[in-house]
Amino acid sequence: MRDNKLQPRQALNKAFLKVKPNRANIEAFKTNLIKLFDQINESESEEFHKNLIADFLKNTYYSPNHFINTKGRKDLVIHNSKDAKSSVGVIVEAKKPTNKSEMLKVDNLNTKAFQELILYFLRDRITEKNLEIRYLIATNIYEWFIFDANIFEQMFAQNKEFVQQFTDFEAGRLTGKNTDFFYKQIAEPAIASIENDITFTHFDIRDYEGILRNNQGEDDRELIALFKLLSPEHLLKLPFANDSNTLDKTFYSELLYIIGLTETKEGNKKLIGRKKESDRHTGSIIENAINQLDSLDKISRLPKPEQFGDSEQERLFNIGLELAITWINRVLFLKLLEAQLIKYHKNNQSFSFLDLTKIHNYGDLNGLFFSVLARKQSERNASVKDIFANVPYLNSSLFEPTNIEQLTIFISNLRDESLPIFSASVLKDSNGKKRTGNLNSLEYLFEFLNAYDFSSEGSEEIQEDNKTLINASVLGLIFEKINGYKDGSFFTPGFITMYMCRETIRRAVVQKFNQIKGWNCQDIDQLYEKIADKQEANTIINSLRICDPAVGSGHFLVSALNEIITIKSELKILLDRKGKTLRDYHLEVVNDELIVTDDDGQLFEYNPKSQESQRIQETLFHEKQTIIENCLFGVDINPNSVKICRLRLWIELLKNAYYRSSQSPLEKSAFEELETLPNIDINIKCGNSLISRFALNADLRQALNKNKFSIDNYKKAVQTYRNAESKEQKREMERLINDIKGNFQVTLQGVDANKTKLRKLEGEIYNLENQLSLLEETKAEKKARDKKIAKLNNEIDKFKAEIEDIESGKIYENALEWRFEFPEVLNDEGDFVGFDVVIGNPPYIRQEEIKEFKPILQQLTRLIAILQF
């Protein structure tokens, strides 16, 4: 068998492999393929069979969005859009089934059909300058040979000598002018020299006929790869469901509606805001929250209400939005958890809990947050213990009251209002028609979420109930858009975050090893050759410090997490908890998703009953935990961004949540023992990453000597906080961390350079005003002394004004003190050693909008040099 021949499954994007096709599409595919079989007539012409192929492709996938027809001498082409004038994406060369001499063979590609494909490719690519050809296909209706256009580009279009021959042939400058001359004299010799290097996908539809006709639904899984191979998502390389770069507009629009928000366009920006007063519904989450905030007079009781806006209405909206995002974050996380539990237990619906049979109102939902998920089974009240017996304890800060909840309202304060069903709702009635009328708002939220499939991670299978897939990557894009409601969201596409993290982190890893080991490696491959101690290598990589100073939804940090795990896998140092390598598994990042496959190319799927599966799942969970805790740090001035970023990282851990192996999942008690989530919130801080009150090179030794706390104490307190096993331990660590930070801050304020100069000037004035002289002061001497005192008073006033600006100025309101917030980037003496990698987007903002801050920001640019990021 040729090494360069791929099976359909091998040819597919591995992230696309994880997407479940729905049952309706698979049935349509089967029906149309059976029809194709039944219409084949080997005595008929090539034209007859070409039309059968066109009909099959149109009816199954491409009509009406992509035009399929002949083009010039090309048998069939698939256009990149529904317009015949649009660019060609796929070129098809069709032969009749009996034309064996011209058709490709697995062991002989150098036939007329392949030579024709090359000519047609060059005419489109070189002559018509088409840069959007994706694939080329040769088929006799039974056998299909599929070639990625990238191969044709590298082997033919980038071959200058070959292109010159083609150009001369097209211009009639060669001895032969008919196409047979091109095939025999130009294409055939060129193919002969590279044939063994040409990779292609091959299949024969006759191999699938038995499965198509046996009416055994479970066998349909064998058709999934073939179904995907001929789809526009593959052949035209279109975005697919769960692609992190593609927004699910249907889900997004209805979620916005339920929250109570609307998207508007302002110039080139899409902004999200409160609905017009005439369009508002008291049943939407944000309007319900605003009504309760207003009726309970919560805004006036806040310590600094002005930080939420200038007017009463602005403050109500901003606080309502922050609360709504907090609650929706929790619910979406729980929807992912629920889907995960059901999947782990073979579709056992007793593990579902987000529905009105268990949660009757917002008070019950509040109880789920704080009385169930935040408490161990043994500590739960009897009223919830049985109802939520299968819901695990998570130990996550996500299920602790936030400061804004403590100061204002909880979700339990919301009233049970009704909400009209969205005009473009995904909800259907019993007859399959779009639902209308009103629904209780909580019931609406649950039914809306139940209309989607949140369990899309994992195995290749068919989506039987035809639900649209939603995963963490898609949710990340939605979070980013909602979060960028004020200025228009700027979501960095996954291929960019993936590329930037790959290029930057790999260089940082090589640099780290070279620095610690004294090596001179240039890349990961050279590192692999030199690593002998795998545990030490893990320690070195885990010492990387990566920061996104404007973290947004956490997209860059998630990409960084996936990249670090992939690097460990490539270096063969990805170890389980016993130090054993994950030898038979391959990890890679595809479409910004971490893909795990075994040696046979099968996607990894967690099975709690399998010891090997348990080992892999535990390893992935704890690797992610270690990397998030030790390597990934983020800052954002927007508190909603901070919440969303933390949520994204928790979701990444949730993907590999596992049952503790000490218990058998066959026992009911085991269902309570899902591994708890660490308190990773301490790594993501809210603040202005550009502003600090205290210089990064300020000496901390005085603070360390004066106080009983050391940098080591601080680091240990932070690590204990992350893995605190109870609320009490967590609160104790919070108090300790705040004490340490407070002591550092007080001590540094005492050695502030401006204050030191001020005290010196005040001392000089005191001496001048109270100086004693043996001789009486002359008028000239008194005048000079008064002049000097006046000058010193002016300087004192200047320094006092600067100190006042620093301590009370608005620009410093959200100042981030790097050394106080991230002890991981300090050495034992408290010196700031900085991060290994700082990655992310610059803020998208017009200079005109920050005119008042430009002078001070210009002064602070020296901060970059000090940080040494």
The stretch 392-409 carries a mean pLDDT of 87
Residues 6 or more apart in contact with residue 606 via CB below 8 angstroms? 344, 458, 613, 614, 616, 617, 656, 658
How does pLDDT run across 177-199, given as a tens digit for each residue?
899 999 999 999 999 999 999 99
DSSP E strands in 456-605: the ranges are 468-469, 546-548, 585-590, 593-598
Residues 6 or more apart in contact with residue 393 via CB below 8 angstroms? 373, 374, 375, 376, 377, 672, 674, 676
Looking at 11-20, 314-323, 559-568, 718-727, which range is the least confident one?
A: 718-727
Q: Is the pLDDT of residue 718 over 70?
A: yes
What's residue 99's pLDDT?
94
What's residue 432's pLDDT?
83
What's residue 667's pLDDT?
44
Provide, rounded to the nearest whole percent, the portion of the chain with pLDDT above 90. 49
What's residue 607's pLDDT?
86
- Terminal Cα distance for the chain, rounded: 52
Rounded to whole angstroms, the Cα distance separating 859 from 869 reads 18
- CA-atom Rg of the chain in angstroms: 33
851 falls in which pLDDT band (50, 70, 90)?
A: low
Rounded to whole angstroms, the Cα distance separating 229 from 778 reads 102
Angle (nearest 5°) at CA 688 between 285 and 298: 35
Which amino acid is located at 386 in the chain? Answer: D
How does pLDDT run across 732-752, given as a tens digit for each residue?
776 776 776 666 655 555 555
824 falls in which pLDDT band (50, 70, 90)?
A: confident
Rounded to whole angstroms, the Cα distance separating 119 from 188 reads 11
Q: What is the dihedral of CA 324, 326, 331, 337, to 10 degrees?
A: 160
Paired residues of 6 in beta bridges: 201
Q: Is the pLDDT of residue 474 over 80?
A: no
Q: Which of 229-233, 263-267, 374-378, 807-811 has the highest mean pLDDT?
A: 229-233
Rounded to whole angstroms, the Cα distance separating 609 from 687 reads 45
DSSP labels, 303-345: S-GGGG-SSHHHHHHHHHHHHHHHHHHHHHHHHHHHHHHHHHT
Q: Under a CB-based contact definition with an 8 Å cutoff, are residues 33 and 208 in contact?
A: yes
Q: Under a CB-based contact definition with an 8 Å cutoff, are residues 501 and 632 in contact?
A: no
Alpha-carbon separation of residue 265 from 261, 485, 553 (angstroms): 13, 11, 22
What's residue 864's pLDDT?
40
What's 84's DSSP letter? T
Residues 6 or more apart in contact with residue 688 via CB below 8 angstroms? 637, 814, 815, 816
Q: Is the pLDDT of residue 811 over 60?
A: no
Q: Under a CB-based contact definition with an 8 Å cutoff, are residues 585 and 8 in contact?
A: no
Rounded to whole angstroms, the Cα distance separating 206 from 749 reads 80
Q: Is the pLDDT of residue 232 over 90?
A: yes
What's residue 827's pLDDT?
78
The stretch 343-359 carries a mean pLDDT of 89
Q: Under a CB-based contact definition with an 8 Å cutoff, are residues 15 and 595 in contact?
A: yes
The pair of three-digit structure tokens given for residue 524, joined into one six-digit string: 């990961």
The stretch 622-644 carries a mean pLDDT of 90
What's residue 7's pLDDT?
93
The stretch 402-431 carries a mean pLDDT of 93
Phi, psi at 580, each rounded to 5°: -90, 135
Q: What is the mean pLDDT of the chain?
A: 84
Alpha-carbon separation of residue 795 from 390, 540, 689, 787, 856 (angstroms): 69, 51, 31, 13, 20
Q: Which of 834, 797, 817 is nearest to 743 (CA)?
A: 817
What's residue 863's pLDDT?
41
Q: What is residue 26's three-state secondary structure?
A: helix
Alpha-carbon separation of residue 289 from 294, 302, 365 (angstroms): 9, 16, 15
Q: What is residue 217's three-state secondary structure?
A: helix
Paired residues of 265 in beta bridges: 270
844 falls in which pLDDT band (50, 70, 90)?
A: low
What's residue 858's pLDDT?
56
What's residue 669's pLDDT?
45
Looking at 334-343, 359-368, 405-414, which range is the least confident one?
A: 334-343
DSSP labels, 769-836: HT---SSPPPHHHHHHHHHHHHHHHHHHHHHHHHHHHHHH-GGGTTB--HHHH-GGGB-TT--B---S
How does pLDDT run across 282-330, given as a tens digit for each residue?
999 999 999 999 999 999 889 888 888 889 999 999 999 999 989 998 9
624 falls in which pLDDT band (50, 70, 90)?
A: very high
Rounded to whole angstroms, the Cα distance separating 407 from 305 reads 11
Residues 6 or more apart in contact with residue 428 via CB below 8 angstroms? 434, 435
Q: Which residues of 167-180 are buried (b: 16+ CB within 10 A; e: fewer)?
A: eebbeeeeeeeeee
Rounded to whole angstroms, the Cα distance separating 143 from 137 reads 10
Residue that wins the pLDDT comparison between 801 and 376: 376
Sequence-ordered alpha helix ranges (H) in 361-518: 362-367, 382-385, 403-407, 441-450, 472-483, 494-517
The stretch 817-832 carries a mean pLDDT of 78
Q: What is residue 532's three-state secondary structure?
A: coil
The stretch 632-660 carries a mean pLDDT of 87
What's residue 663's pLDDT?
47
Residue that wins the pLDDT comparison between 809 and 694: 694
Q: Which of 623, 526, 530 is nearest to 575 (CA)?
A: 623
The stretch 821-832 carries a mean pLDDT of 78
Q: Which of 305, 333, 284, 329 is nearest to 404 (CA)?
A: 305
Looking at 160-169, 249-258, 270-279, 364-373, which range is the least confident one?
A: 270-279
Give the side-chain half-sphere CA count within 13 A for 249.
2
How many Cβ atoms from other residues are within 10 Å of residue 117's Cβ? Answer: 25
How does pLDDT run across 16-40, given as a tens digit for each residue?
888 888 888 999 999 999 999 999 9
Q: Which of 221, 173, 331, 316 is nearest to 647 (CA)?
A: 331
Alpha-carbon separation of residue 829 from 695, 697, 699, 711, 733 (angstroms): 16, 12, 9, 7, 22
How does strand 269-274 pair with strand 418-420? unpaired
Phi, psi at 762, each rounded to 5°: -65, -35
Answer left, alpha or beta for residue 141, where phi above 0 means left and psi between -120 and 50 means alpha. left
Rounded to whole angstroms, the Cα distance separating 406 from 402 reads 6
How does pLDDT run across 418-436, given as a tens digit for each residue?
999 999 999 998 888 889 9
How does pLDDT run across 118-172, given as a tens digit for each residue?
999 999 999 999 999 999 999 999 999 999 999 999 999 999 999 999 999 999 9
The pair of three-digit structure tokens given for residue 357, joined into one six-digit string: 């049979």
Q: What is the number of H-type helices and E-type strands within the chain?
A: 34, 19
Residue that wins the pLDDT comparison between 495 and 456: 495
Rounded to whole angstroms, the Cα distance separating 380 from 547 reads 38
What's residue 398's pLDDT?
81
Rounded to whole angstroms, the Cα distance separating 364 from 361 reads 5
What's residue 671's pLDDT?
43
845 falls in which pLDDT band (50, 70, 90)?
A: low
What's residue 561's pLDDT?
96
In this structure, the chain runs to a length of: 869
- pTM, entire model: 0.80
Q: Is the pLDDT of residue 668 over 60?
A: no
